[in-house]
Structure formats: structure tokens, C-alpha cells
Amino acid sequence: MAAPDLVRVAHRCLRDLTELEPHHHVLVVTDDETADVAEAWSAAAAALAAEVVTIRMEPRRRHGEEPPPAVAQAMLGADLIVQAVSRALTHTDASRAAMARGSQVFVLRGITAAMMRGELMKVDYAELRRVTGALAARLQGGEAAHLTSPAGTDLRFGLEGRSAFALAGGTGPGRFGGARSGEAAIAPVEGSAEGVIVIEHAMDDLGALDAPIRLTCRAGRVARIEGGASAAELGRMLAEAGEGADNLAEVAIGTNPAARLSDNLAEAKKVRGTVHVALGDNVSLGGSVRSGLHLDGMVLAPTLSVDGDVLVRDGVLQ
């Protein structure tokens, strides 16, 4: 039976951050690592919707891996899909197909009971939307961006023609969003990224890093990976995933003042004033590269400018 305090948190989030209606059908997708927490979301949804179905699957091997065909098919028939899973399904064809049919996708990848009980989900969402929306507006419409960090990041990339996404709490028909929100994200123009990215602290599917990972980008792709054991493992994962995995898929600014730097990217990438980059699939962000993975990695104390306009300086939002 789900813990009553977790059900209350889930109920508030579904009520305030989705466009869930009493006649809607809800699908809760979970796996063996998050099934205990998913019970709270199922119980909360049952009080708000016409019907709730929960599907439990094997955990995916990596973020961005497609769910089983039966799960993908079930997603097509749901008005709201609560993805309480250990590894993200956001950047998958299954989620995109469901959104194309009007489904709402509520992203809860890496969700834990501690997160639900913590400060991260008690943020002032109105203020978070204001700040995140302002940053997204400054990203969108830009032509050229420059990202640096004290650890050695020095990357230039194009943004012309790209839409930015203000992920600041909530979702609606045909969109994805979540409760642990706070990032302004954009997909760099394919083939435009040149320079060096230094990933610090943590990265999806690697957790805490044994040493910083230095990525050299050429024509929008990762041409070289240097570092310790974590870097070697990343190289193995990209090689295994194949075509598209080495694409610089995303650059995003964290905006959540309640987020804390942890080994779990579900929270860490929301930390206000950080930047995270992603490798792999960028289709959900308006790009054209498909891949079986989408991996986020942290850039700390960054400075990010767009067309010379500084958005973040030394880890402080401008």
C-alpha cells in the first residue's frame, strides 16, 4: 500500500501540473526499480481520473531506450502517461508517437520517495516558469552560442532556427513535462558544435564520475573521449548504441533554486546556474538525429552566452 504522504504529493502534482480531467484514462509506466513509488502515483490518479492502468516492465538499460512494444502500444491509448521509471523514456519514439496523438507525458524518471518528500517538489512553480521562460526566450532566436567552464569547457555551437523549451513544471496534451522541473533547453544545430566539453560530477547511466570526462567535438559529433574509467565506459556505451549516439543533442540551463547537486541527474541537472549537455537523440527537442540513447552530463560553474549576450556567468543566472 502506498504511503499516504507520498499519495498527497502525487495528488497535488497531478492536480496542479497536468491537464487531467475526470473522464481521462491514465497509464502509469514503471519498472522493478521504481514500482514502490509508482504506487503513490497510481493511487493519486485513481482519485482524479476515470480509470488508471499500471504497467510494470523490466528497467531499461540506458536512458532513451525504447520501452517494450506492449508498453508503447498502451501509451497510444492514454490521455495521461505517468512515467515513473528509473531510466527516461522521454526521448523515445514511443513517447513521441503518444504525444502526436495528444497524450500528456508526465516525466518522473529516477523518482524516489526521498525526492517526493524533499524540497525539490515544493518549489514556487509560478516563479520557476517566469525565470525559465525568460531564459528560453533568450536562447530561442539566437544564432551562435559559446559555453565555457573553469574545468576547461570551451564550446561554440549554432542555434539558428531552433526552438527552446521552458521545462518548468507541468504538461498538457501533446507535450511532456514533470514535477521535478527547472531547465531551459535547446538542441544545437546538427554539425555546428566545435570545441571541448568537460563533464563533471555525474552523467546519466554512469552516476558519480571517477574523474572529469573531456569530450572533443568536431562538426557536432564527439570525436574524442578522455578521462578515467567513467570516460572509458561512456565510450563503450556510445559505440554499443551506434549511429547518432555521438551527436551533441542538447544544451540546457538549470533554473530550480531547490534542486541539489547529487549523483542522480533527475535532480542535479535542475540546479540553478548549472548547464547540462546531452549526447544522442534530439528529435524531441526539434532536431533530426535519432538514437537509442539520450545521456545528460553536468557542466559546473558555466558561462553561457548567446550572440554575445551572457545568460549565465560563472554559475549565476544573469
> What's the CA gap between 255 and 267, in Å, rounded?
11
pLDDT confidence band for 142 (50 / 70 / 90): very high
| H-run or E-run covering 306 | strand 303-306
What value does the mean pLDDT take over residues 300-304?
98
What value does the mean pLDDT take over residues 26-51?
95
Contacts made by residues 9-14, CB under 8 angstroms, sequence distance 24+: 9/40, 9/116, 9/117, 9/121, 10/40, 10/41, 10/43, 10/44, 10/45, 10/116, 11/44, 11/47, 11/48, 13/44, 13/121, 13/179, 14/41, 14/44, 14/45, 14/48, 14/80, 14/82, 14/106
What value does the mean pLDDT take over residues 249-253?
98
Please check whether residue 155 is in contact with residue 197, taking contact to mean a CB–CB distance below 8 angstroms.
yes
What is the model's pLDDT at position 2? 85
Grid coordinates standing for 226?
Answer: 578522455
> What's the CA gap between 157 and 307, in Å, rounded?
11
pLDDT confidence band for 155 (50 / 70 / 90): very high
Residue 275, amino acid: V
Computed over every residue of the chain, the mean pLDDT equals: 94
**Closest by CA position to 94, among listed 61, 132, 58, 66:** 66
**Cα dihedral 135, 253, 286, 59 sign:** negative
Q: What percent of the chain has pLDDT over 90?
A: 83
What is the model's pLDDT at position 181? 84
Q: Which value, in Å, is the radius of gyration of the alpha carbons in the chain?
A: 18
Q: What percent of the chain has pLDDT over 70?
A: 100
What is the model's pLDDT at position 179? 80
CA angle, residues 94, 98, 104, in degrees to nearest 5 = 120
> What's the CA gap between 66 and 63, in Å, rounded?
9
**Closest by CA position to 27, among listed 45, 2, 40, 6:** 45
Please check whether residue 206 is in contact with residue 154, taking contact to mean a CB–CB distance below 8 angstroms.
no
What value does the mean pLDDT take over residues 144-148?
98
Its pTM stands at 0.85
Contacts made by residues 123-128, CB under 8 angstroms, sequence distance 24+: 123/169, 123/181, 123/182, 123/256, 123/257, 123/258, 125/16, 125/17, 125/168, 125/169, 125/170, 125/181, 128/168, 128/169, 128/181, 128/182, 128/255, 128/256
Q: Which of 3.40.1830.10, 3.30.470.20, 3.50.50.60, 3.40.920.10 is the CATH number of 4-117?
A: 3.40.1830.10
What is the model's pLDDT at position 82? 97
What value does the mean pLDDT take over residues 164-171?
88
What is the model's pLDDT at position 275? 98
What value does the mean pLDDT take over residues 207-225?
97
What is the model's pLDDT at position 264? 86
> What's the CA gap between 182 and 268, in Å, rounded?
11
Q: What is the DSSP string of 171-188?
A: --TT-EEESS--EEEEPP
Reply yes or no on whether the pLDDT at 197 is more than 80: yes
What is the model's pLDDT at position 298? 98
> What's the CA gap between 181 and 178, in Å, rounded?
6
pLDDT confidence band for 119 (50 / 70 / 90): confident
What is the model's pLDDT at position 15? 93
The model's pLDDT over 44-103, given as tens digits with 9 standing for 90+, comes to: 999 999 999 999 999 999 888 999 999 999 999 999 999 999 999 998 999 999 999 999
Domain ranges within the chain, ordered by starting residue: 4-117, 123-317
Reply yes or no on whether the pLDDT at 28 is more than 80: yes
Please check whether residue 298 is in contact with residue 146, taking contact to mean a CB–CB distance below 8 angstroms.
no
Pick from 226-230, 266-270, 271-275: least confident: 266-270
What is the model's pLDDT at position 178? 83
199 pairs with which residues across the strands? 213
What value does the mean pLDDT take over residues 237-258?
96
**Closest by CA position to 37, among listed 14, 64, 10:** 10
